């Protein structure tokens, strides 16, 4: 891949990226959330077409207009979310859309023999071609995806965060598979945040940052610390509001030994006037922790003050609010007016709202503050301000922000930053999740890092991005 550029409306995602992969090589692609890894892979797989740049296979320039083009040319991609049909057998999934035919009918026997042979080659004996996919574990389903790739004679297999959904014991199985693939001469492009895996598997590493390639190096020339520096090393050019002027006040929320299906051993205190940043890789349990504190996906063990919420209504009654990660699917009723959205929490509690709506909208700097407009017509930043207004109506003590500035333009971002700080100054306890490390570090009075559903460590204000990444990636 040479000189790949790609923009989406409103954002340039990739700038002039080169990437070369050799036969039988395991090539790791790493970078922070949003560095452009997934987009680059989707271009290779024919899901997106590049704005500029070329792709060449065995020296021949190719152009993929559709994922099936890429598949025919020998590029298979295995996504984070598996795309198998749960109610079909393994063999049916492997040959989906290109079933072998005999006299016009699907030749099941041929399908099953071929699938069985590939499973044998991979040394997989825990399930067979006739098993239903829904009965398989996530790791086994990945094996099916790989078999599917091999059955079309894939020469490049792209794996996007393949271990994200795997249990520790299953990761070994995946490593073995990756090595078998490379022994067969298949090139594996391996995307991961987890540095340990990269040092375990990769021959070479390409680092992406903010949509551009930083470097490609053989793994032998790299150390963990060096890799982290390559991933995050950037100037802090953004401006963030000043830190807390007073020392933090009373503890407004405390958890001891909190846990549920995804979280374990969570000890956390949030104090008045303080912004606590919550860092972690995707899948580390950040959103889950916010939802547990709020009561949407409650803790099932551990102690909490105020009383551990068993439901959203408990959480709200205890003075906790959650600004959700995805405002369109979880935060707003898009066809309702700004006013109706802003008043939703208050109305659900049958509470009277002290402040007139218009004042509230001005307070969150909604511009223009038009209460009758349907929120779906608002920009991302303004929508987020409406979500914020919704919580201010009930004056919570603790406000949890999950990626509050995702998909928000620069101006609105600064306004939201100021607002969050202002709320803390007014005596609220704030927890803020952000995948953008500069934002997280720039905003927070201290940072808590999660890894695999547990707290990996605490860091003071103005810690380096490297320090956060070290804890988050577990190196």
Partner 1 sequence: MRRNLPILGVLAVLLVAIAIANPFFLEPEGFLAFVKRAAPLAILAAGQYFVIVSGEFDLSVGSLVTAEVVIAARLIDGDPGATWPVVLLLLAFGALIGLVNGMVTTLLKVPSFIVTLGMLLILSGAVFLWTGGSPRGALSEEFRQFGRGSLGPVPWSVLILVAAVAAVIALMRSDFGRTLLAAGDNPVAARLSGVRVLRVKTTAFVLSGLSAAVCAVLLGGFAGVSAKVGEGLEFQAITAVVLGGVALGGGRGSAVAAIAGAFTLQALFTLLNLYGISGALEFTVQGLILVLAVALGSVQFPRRAKSASTTA
Q: Which residues bind partner 1 (CB under 8 A)?
A: 296, 312-313, 316, 322, 324, 329-336, 340-341, 343-345, 347-350, 376-379, 390
**Residue placing its CB nearer to partner 1 in the complex, 261 or 326:** 326
**Residue placing its CB nearer to partner 1 in the complex, 280 or 321:** 321
Q: What is the DSSP code (8-state) at residue 351?
A: P
Q: What is the DSSP code (8-state) at residue 448?
A: E
**Residue placing its CB nearer to partner 1 in the complex, 93 or 324:** 324
- Give the H/E segment covering residue 193: none
Contact indicator for 345, 393 with CB cutoff of 8 Å: yes
Longest C-alpha distance within the chain, in Å? 81
**Residue placing its CB nearer to partner 1 in the complex, 246 or 328:** 328
- Give the H/E segment covering residue 82: none
Least Cβ distance, residue 363 to partner 1 (angstroms)? 19
The two tokens of residue 454 are: 């547990």
Contact indicator for 296, 315 with CB cutoff of 8 Å: yes
Rounded Cα–Cα distance for residues 93 and 81 (Å): 15
Least Cβ distance, residue 264 to partner 1 (angstroms)? 24
Least Cβ distance, residue 205 to partner 1 (angstroms)? 39
Least Cβ distance, residue 302 to partner 1 (angstroms)? 22
Pairing of strands 187-191, 26-30: parallel
**Residue placing its CB nearer to partner 1 in the complex, 154 or 387:** 387
* Of 109, 20, 107, 15, the residue nearest 59 (C-alpha): 20
**Residue placing its CB nearer to partner 1 in the complex, 200 or 330:** 330
The two tokens of residue 27 are: 């090539």
Residue 377's contacts (CB-CB under 8 Å, 6 or more residues apart) are: none
Least Cβ distance, residue 399 to partner 1 (angstroms)? 14
- What Cα–Cα distance (Å) separates residue 381 from each residue in 91, 97, 123, 387? 47, 43, 51, 10
Least Cβ distance, residue 9 to partner 1 (angstroms)? 9
Least Cβ distance, residue 61 to partner 1 (angstroms)? 35
- Give the H/E segment covering residue 412: helix 410-425
**Residue placing its CB nearer to partner 1 in the complex, 316 or 424:** 316
Phi then psi dihedrals of residue 45, to 5 deg = -85, 0
């Amino acid at each position: 891949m040479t000189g790949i550029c790609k923009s989406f409306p409103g954002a340039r995602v990739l700038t002039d990226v080169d990437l070369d992969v050799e036969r039988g090589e395991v090539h790791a692609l790493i970078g922070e959330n949003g560095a452009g890894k997934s987009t680059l892979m989707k271009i290779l797989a024919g899901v997106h077409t590049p704005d500029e740049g070329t792709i060449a296979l065995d020296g021949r320039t190719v152009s993929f207009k559709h994922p099936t083009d890429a598949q025919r040319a020998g590029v298979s991609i295995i996504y984070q979310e598996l795309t198998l049909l749960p109610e079909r057998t393994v063999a049916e999934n492997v040959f989906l859309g290109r079933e072998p035919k005999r006299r016009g009918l699907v030749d099941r026997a041929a399908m099953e023999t071929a699938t069985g042979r590939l499973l044998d080659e991979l040394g997989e004996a825990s399930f067979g071609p006739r098993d239903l996919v829904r009965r398989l574990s996530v790791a086994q389903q990945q094996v099916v995806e790989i078999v599917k790739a091999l059955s079309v004679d894939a020469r490049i297999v792209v794996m996007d965060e393949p271990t994200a959904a795997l249990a520790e014991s299953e990761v070994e199985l995946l490593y073995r598979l990756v090595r078998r693939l490379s022994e067969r001469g298949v090139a594996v492009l391996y995307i991961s945040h987890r540095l340990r895996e990269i040092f375990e598997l990769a021959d070479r590493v390409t680092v992406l940052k903010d949509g551009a390639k930083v470097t490609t190096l053989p793994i032998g020339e790299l150390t963990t610390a060096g890799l982290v520096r390559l991933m995050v090393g950037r100037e802090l050019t953004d401006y963030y509001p000043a830190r807390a002027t007073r020392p933090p006040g009373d503890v407004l929320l405390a958890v001891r030994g909190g846990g549920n299906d995804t979280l374990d051993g969570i000890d956390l205190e949030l104090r008045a006037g303080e912004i606590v940043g919550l860092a972690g890789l995707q899948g580390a349990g950040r959103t889950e922790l916010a939802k547990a504190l709020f009561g949407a996906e409650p803790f099932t063990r551990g102690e909490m003050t105020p009383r551990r919420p068993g439901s959203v209504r408990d959480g709200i009654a205890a003075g906790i609010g959650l600004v959700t990660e995805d405002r369109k699917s979880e935060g707003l009723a898009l066809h309702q007016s700004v006013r109706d959205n802003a008043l939703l929490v208050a109305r659900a509690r049958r509470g009277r709202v002290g402040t007139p709506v218009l004042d509230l909208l001005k307070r969150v700097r909604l511009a223009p503050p038009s209460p009758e407009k349907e929120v779906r017509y608002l920009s991302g930043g303004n929508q987020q301000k409406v979500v914020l207004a919704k919580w201010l109506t009930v004056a919570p003590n603790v406000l949890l922000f999950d990626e509050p500035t995702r998909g928000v333009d620069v101006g609105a971002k600064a306004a939201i930053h100021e607002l969050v700080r202002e709320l803390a100054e007014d005596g609220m306890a704030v927890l803020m999740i952000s995948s953008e490390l500069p934002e997280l570090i720039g905003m927070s009075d201290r940072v808590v890092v999660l890894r695999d559903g547990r707290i990996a460590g605490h860091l003071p204000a103005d810690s380096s991005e490297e320090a956060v990444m070290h804890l988050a990636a577990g190196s």
